[in-house]
Chain A
Amino acid sequence: MKPLIRALFCVCSLLCAALAGATAETRGEIVAMKRLTEAQYRNTIADIFGSETGIYGRFEPDYRRDHLIAVGSAWTSVSPSGFEQYERMALGIAEQVLNEAVRDRYLQCELPKSHIAGDACARAFLDYYGKRIFRRPLSERERADRLAIAAKIMQLGGGCLRRAGTRPGQPAGLAGLPVSDGNPRAGSGRTRGERLTGYSKAARLSYFLWNTTPDEALLAAAGNGELHTRDGLRRQVERLLASRRLETGMRALFADMLRFDTFPELTKDAQLYPVFTTRVAQAMQEQTLRTLMDHLLVKEDDYRDLFTLDTMPMNPELGMVYAVPVSWREGWRDFRFEDASARNGLLSQASLLSLHSHAGSSSPTLRGLFVRETFLCQYVPPPPADVDFTMDEAFAVKATARERLLRHREEPICAGCHQLMDPIGLTLEQFDGVGMFRIRENGALIDVGGELDGEVFAGARGLGEALSEHPRVPACLVNTVYRYATGRPAVNSERELLGALEAGFAASGYRLRELLAQIATNEKFYDADALRRQVSTAEEKS
């Protein structure tokens, strides 16, 4: 028995070590590749081996590009210290799965006594988990390679084999990412006209909507060709969109879009903001994600209305931050702000206000930049390197941010860009560096007048209304979700497609599910030629 378990241990860790990435393939060509994010890796392991399976190791920080980790993941690779950790995690998983106490649950056979039966057991294990981890059946070659190891280990009575003659500095054997078999066409092997395999489509779809690996039904649809038919694809998309697991996927999408991955490193001065603790920071994020999920998925409301909501989920921890009475001990309940209150819409939530502030102060500039980049998809250039800051000195002593930022307007070199940011952020100045309400700064009353693209208004409510009516806001969401889904910025040739998606989004009354359905059922989302061409175009663009 022991040799078999050891063999399975090797097979299992071997499979898991390959979990760093996912590929999109035709029969014989890899047309796109991405590294799984930490959340995707965790979700995938939980789906395959159960959520109780611990993951021991440290993930490489996710890499952001074009404002999204989803895009950065399609660019980055794995560093040596990163692989060291993947390997560690793989061993940890194998150890847990083959632990005597629980392994019966994972083994795909009764523990056999004879050597021959052991081979069969290893084969069953490999086929079952191989398919789930590679998101497709293993090719004959991949299968044979791995079974050979298992057989060898069993033959050695559970010992370990090692390739002789491998020395540091010499390429040794390599474990790999999931890879397709077919007919590799060396180098120039461009297979124009080849479509993505059904399994690649399934993985693309699943990571987009659920942020995890395909489930059994989706793998089956990939295997039987269903995903290659229009109706079949639609059926699966509808199934995924109707599932509760859509929430996992959409939480990931919005956490990426709103850069919540930067929360763990966000620090606030403990003397100035004693309310800001790790638990409060977590509650802030949860509040925003709950707001989004409730509005977009449960109520299926208009995306634009997010900016003017007067109700938000509240829990006892956040009661302090919002200075509102929370009568219940734990959990979340909706809290409605009275009309007179300045709290209004997504942008008045503490998560976004804290994230786009300094450790010891608010920042109208950072907040304005965030609104431009995230909700309007606009580019604001970085400040010139050789800015003359001598003007600052006269302004540094002023009481309010508005007065201090006046310097930006008086200097033409600053005004060009800052007029795009400061007038937006200044309308949120009644919220301090952690989003707590205030009416004075350094004793002076705060003026919350501001402006967005010619629209003049005041306060968070005014900003929310201006955004909810801004035509770029829904267009920007379309662009963001498309970038998130495809893992790259849209290229010029896709303008028409984006236009159609925007029109469809509008026609649906700006319902998120409809937008997701349009992208997920669009053949362009799976088109290998387009993917290949667009990857290189995006490359040229950058």
Chain B
Amino acid sequence: MNAKRVTRRHVLRGLLQGSAITLSLPLLDRFLDGNGTAMAAGAPLPQRFGTWFWGCGMTPERWNPVTEGAAYETTPELQSLARHRERLNILSGFNAYLEGLPNQVHSSGVIATLTGNAPARPDEFTSPSVDILVADAIGTGSRFRSLEIAACGDPRHSYSRRNTSTVNAAEVSPLQLYARIFGSGFQDPNASTFRPDPTLMMRQSVLSAVAEDRRRMMQQAGTRDRERLDQYFTAIRQTEQQLEIMLREPEPLESCRVPEAPGEMPLDTEIETVEASHRMLSRLLALALACNQTRVFNVVFSPGASKLRRGGSSANHHQLTHEEPLDTALGYQPGATWFVERSMAAFSEFLDILASVPEGDGSLLDNCLVLAHSETSLAKTHDVNGLPIILAGRCGGTMKTGLHIKGNGDPVSRVGLTVQQLMGVPVDRWGSRSMETRRPVSEVLA
């Protein structure tokens, strides 16, 4: 194609490569549909949802504030989050209920928070994680339904799952994340011209080629395979939607900036390497959000049973939680606690990064809802009572912040219900058995 300026109207007239392009509806959609996707003057900025996970919980007496409400005291393990105090809520005392099933160590807690169910076996997701439910509701208008990043170097570190075996694998390399977001296929919303990539349409025709295959295959497959096929075809459909979005001219976005490509970075579980990866991945993620490439994200700083370690030390975070003696003078495990504090510092840095992107009258963080959580409270005993939870961001003003809320033993599914309602998912009841709830955490609803 010549490098001459091609406008949307040219495309609509089918001038591209002289071929008959039927590219009408999706583009017109944008003018008709102001439902979050249109960002013309006056339209609301999009809201984003994300999770941020760290492994091996916390030390209850050093993490949980005592005072409820806005006047809560800053505890030692929350020290580094103090600067974001007005932009987040601390939730303590919410429990995972295991329904008499064994505690699947380092797995039951995270699954309870994300699905409202207790797993019968390790890593069993009997229903989709909450980020997927939110993405189904708000993620269809952006290029990526969701983006996952993990800082410890393992793409398996992802709790974004439609079911046990369908995992949205995490990006671990900043360079690869960059290529996926800002590499080929990226449409700079602030570019002076819009040139839809002709291969996008070719790809569409490829994907929509065998409309009959799906029906035929579904008829031929057994029940379980049919379910797996359905997931597969759902995945294809989402790729088609992605192409659809890439063919539309993006609305200019003031805060969208295309970064330089990062260099290769080492991947390791050593804490400083992890922090560096996390920082770089988070910056790219923040720009992906600012450029409306995705509205849902999942970050795993360290996985359940965290393997974070200090250089030269023979024991990692997880080993320390079990093996480190309690310092009787201090009343806690200093080595294990050190990792909790570093994890909270990393979350604070993550919020810094979101807050550093200006958006509208405030920042990107103001238009986010971030659910930070871990798989246990005290990891030493794999305790799934009193799970540590932080809800950060203002969610476009729909969430009240600056509070400490005590769950008093309520099911943790109340949190999952709350975030769904905040993100506009039409749901009034969530979780199963004793974690089924109709009660959002109303204290945070503005």
What is A's interface to B at a CB cutoff of 8 Å? 6, 9-10, 13-14, 17, 20-21, 25, 28-33, 58, 60-61, 63, 65, 72, 75-84, 87, 90-91, 141-142, 145-146, 149, 153, 156-169, 171-177, 179-181, 184-187, 189, 265, 267, 269-272, 358-361, 382-390, 392-393, 396-397, 532, 535-536, 539, 542
Q: How far is the CA of A360 from the CA of B104 in the complex (A)?
A: 25
Check A176 against B309 for contact (C-beta < 8 Å): no
Q: Which of B33-86 contact A (CB under 8 A)?
A: none
Q: Which residues of the other chain, B, contact A84 by a CB distance below 8 angstroms?
A: 238-239, 242
Check B17 against A158 for contact (C-beta < 8 Å): yes
Q: Which of B298-335 contact A (CB under 8 A)?
A: 307, 309, 311-316, 319, 322-326
Known: A25-B220, A162-B201, A532-B222. A387 touches B140 (CB 8 A): no
Q: Which residues of the other chain, A, contact B141 by a CB distance below 8 angstroms?
A: 168
Asked whether any CB of chain A lies closer than 8 Å to the CB of B259, the reply is: no
Q: How far is the CA of A382 from the CA of B167 in the complex (A)?
A: 23
Q: Measured between C-beta atoms, what is the minimum distance from A8 to chain B in Å?
A: 12
Q: How far is the CA of A128 from the CA of B410 in the complex (A)?
A: 62
Interface residue stretch chosen among B111-119, B225-233, B424-432: B225-233
Check A17 against B207 for contact (C-beta < 8 Å): yes
Q: Measured between C-beta atoms, what is the minimum distance from B192 to chain A in Å?
A: 25
Q: Which 6 A-B pairs have the closest CB atoms?
A: A159-B19, A173-B208, A176-B213, A385-B103, A173-B211, A393-B325
Taking CB as reference atom, which chain A residue is nearest B109?
A385
Check A265 against B166 for contact (C-beta < 8 Å): no
User: Chain B, 162-202, contact with A by CB distance < 8 Å: what is the 0/1 string?
Assistant: 10111111000000100000000000000000000011011
Q: Which residues of the other chain, A, contact B211 by a CB distance below 8 angstroms?
A: 145, 172-174
Asked whether any CB of chain A lies closer than 8 Å to the CB of B409, the reply is: no
Q: Which of A9, A269, A536 counts the most chain B CB atoms within 10 A?
A: A269
Check A160 against B315 for contact (C-beta < 8 Å): no
Cβ-neighbour of A358 out of B145, B208, B217, B314 (below 8 A): B314
Cβ-neighbour of B19 out of A146, A157, A382, A386 (below 8 A): A157
Known: A184-B216, A392-B325. A269 touches B270 (CB 8 A): yes
Taking CB as reference atom, which chain A residue is nearest B140?
A168
Check A175 against B153 for contact (C-beta < 8 Å): no
Cβ-neighbour of B232 out of A6, A20, A141 (below 8 A): A20
Known: A14-B209, A160-B201, A173-B207. A81 touches B233 (CB 8 A): no
Asked whether any CB of chain A lies closer than 8 Å to the CB of B356, the reply is: no
Q: Which residues of the other chain, A, contact B232 by a CB distance below 8 angstroms?
A: 20-21, 77-78, 83, 177
Check B212 against A141 for contact (C-beta < 8 Å): yes
Q: Measured between C-beta atoms, what is the minimum distance from A527 to chain B in Å?
A: 15
Q: Which of B91-126 contact A (CB under 8 A)?
A: 102-105, 108, 121-122
A-B contact pairs, 26 of them (CB 8 A): A33-B228, A61-B169, A72-B165, A78-B231, A79-B166, A79-B168, A80-B235, A81-B168, A84-B239, A160-B21, A160-B205, A164-B22, A167-B25, A169-B241, A172-B240, A174-B208, A270-B270, A271-B312, A358-B319, A359-B309, A360-B315, A382-B104, A385-B104, A387-B322, A389-B380, A392-B325
Q: How far is the CA of A90 from the CA of B202 in the complex (A)?
A: 13
What is B's interface to A at a CB cutoff of 8 Å? 16-26, 29, 102-105, 108, 121-122, 140-141, 144-146, 148, 153-156, 162, 164-169, 176, 198-199, 201-214, 216-217, 219-222, 224-225, 228-229, 231-242, 244-245, 268-270, 307, 309, 311-316, 319, 322-326, 380-382
Known: A80-B234, A84-B239, A269-B270. A31 touches B208 (CB 8 A): no
Check B167 against A63 for contact (C-beta < 8 Å): yes
Q: Which residues of the other chain, B, contact A164 by a CB distance below 8 angstroms?
A: 22, 24-25
Q: Measured between C-beta atoms, what is the minimum distance from A11 to chain B in Å?
A: 9
Q: How far is the CA of A258 from the CA of B272 in the complex (A)?
A: 31
Q: Measured between C-beta atoms, what is the minimum distance from B152 to chain A in Å?
A: 8
Q: Measured between C-beta atoms, what is the minimum distance from B13 to chain A in Å?
A: 13
Q: Which residues of the other chain, A, contact B313 by a CB distance below 8 angstroms?
A: 269, 360
Cβ-neighbour of A83 out of B121, B146, B209, B236 (below 8 A): B236
Taking CB as reference atom, which chain A residue is nearest B268?
A267
Taking CB as reference atom, which chain A residue is nearest B24?
A164
Q: How far is the CA of A396 from the CA of B324 in the complex (A)?
A: 7
Check B105 against A33 for contact (C-beta < 8 Å): no
Check B21 against A162 for contact (C-beta < 8 Å): yes
Q: How far is the CA of A142 from the CA of B217 in the complex (A)?
A: 12
Q: Which residues of the other chain, A, contact B108 by a CB distance below 8 angstroms?
A: 385
Q: Which residues of the other chain, A, contact B24 by a CB distance below 8 angstroms?
A: 164
Cβ-neighbour of B220 out of A20, A30, A267, A358 (below 8 A): A30
Q: Measured between C-beta atoms, what is the minimum distance from B54 to chain A in Å?
A: 18
Q: Measured between C-beta atoms, what is the minimum distance from A531 to chain B in Å?
A: 10
